[in-house]
Chains A and B, each alone.
Chain A
């Protein structure tokens, strides 16, 4: 049984629920959410509360509980 994680889209305000295995990572969350919302190619980060989560972190390392909410935020690279 996987862990359900709610991902909020910072740009659209919409929410997506992902079912994740403990070995999956924040990178997987970014990829799945960006693909689901047909995001343009660009850089994104995931935050939980006030913390930016590292891309390589496994779900099992994050102490995530079912239905915890994280947010997908675009990382602006223009100047």
Chain B
């Protein structure tokens, strides 16, 4: 007997059948990919959920913090008892994502990204789900230095942004920063040394903007992992949820940026 033999309904037996219908999405590459997610707060929850459902094979999650009750308006994987028990965010997000996609290898790392023991070159893409400029600069510098693409997300109320950094040619996060970013750093850090304490103002945050920004972050990561960086946002997408608008803005490498001095 020649030709393909089909059983009615067999397409529904494949978890990723519908994903495979997207021509450019390389499901084999996603399955073989190692992805680093820095930050397991609101964006981190949504980003890891999206990565796991998309079929990414290996996700490392870094966060030093524990759950508090005020996280629960926007974090899929946290529950009230996690706040009471001061559960660690990285562990809880890893456990939740494992439940969604058991074949995914999930590695939680509870600690500061600065102390992370995993080698950066081992990752195909880094997703930043952070809440401060200092940590962003650290992740940006290491990703750029090791030529690992970096997709940074940020939110404030109904506003958000996604920046895609594609080394070695593209501008990095630091290239787009100015004195107003520097002032946030100076304001937050009240002392320096091994035990740095800093003031962290509370920002408005809710789930719909978090979901939008995390979805765009992961979509950009899927393009990178599928070897389609030509489809990526260049360079920053700004989202205004109150008006229902978004725009993509371009930027250039900065001559003063230490991550890639221009000769």
> Which residues on A are within 8 Å of B, measured CB to CB?
10, 26-27, 30-31, 34, 41-45, 47, 50-52, 54-56, 73-79
* Distance of B150 from chain A, by nearest CB (Å): 14
A75-B154 CB under 8 A given contacts A30-B178, A43-B184, A45-B176: yes
* Distance of B160 from chain A, by nearest CB (Å): 5
Q: Does B248 contact A (CB under 8 A)?
A: yes
In this complex, how many residues of chain B approach chain A with their Cβ under 8 Å: the count is 45
A79 and B154 contacting across the interface, CB-CB below 8 Å: yes
Q: Does B124 contact A (CB under 8 A)?
A: no
B177 and A52 contacting across the interface, CB-CB below 8 Å: no
Inter-chain CA distance A45–B249, complex, in Å, is 11
* Distance of B262 from chain A, by nearest CB (Å): 13
A55 and B177 contacting across the interface, CB-CB below 8 Å: yes
Map CB proximity to A onto B110-144 as digits: 1 under 8 Å, 0 otherwise: 00000000000000000011111100100000000
CB neighbors of A among B137-178 (8 A): 153-156, 159-161, 175-178
Chain A CB within 10 Å — which of B180, B247, B249 has the most? B180
Residue of A nearest to B201 (CB): A41
A79 and B159 contacting across the interface, CB-CB below 8 Å: no
Residues of A within 8 Å of B153, CB to CB, are 79
A76-B44 CB under 8 A given contacts A43-B177, A51-B250: no
Map CB proximity to A onto B163-200 as digits: 1 under 8 Å, 0 otherwise: 00000000000011111110110010000000000000
Inter-chain CA distance A45–B175, complex, in Å, is 12
Residue of B nearest to A73 (CB): B238
Cross-chain contact of A76 among B161, B177, B183, B201 (Cβ < 8 A): B161
A52-B133 CB under 8 A given contacts A41-B184, A78-B156: no
Residues of B within 8 Å of A74, CB to CB, are 156, 159
* Distance of B117 from chain A, by nearest CB (Å): 22
Stretch at the interface among B6-14, B27-35, B251-259: B251-259
Residues of B within 8 Å of A30, CB to CB, are 178-180
A79 and B176 contacting across the interface, CB-CB below 8 Å: no
Chain A CB within 10 Å — which of B130, B131, B181, B205 has the most? B181
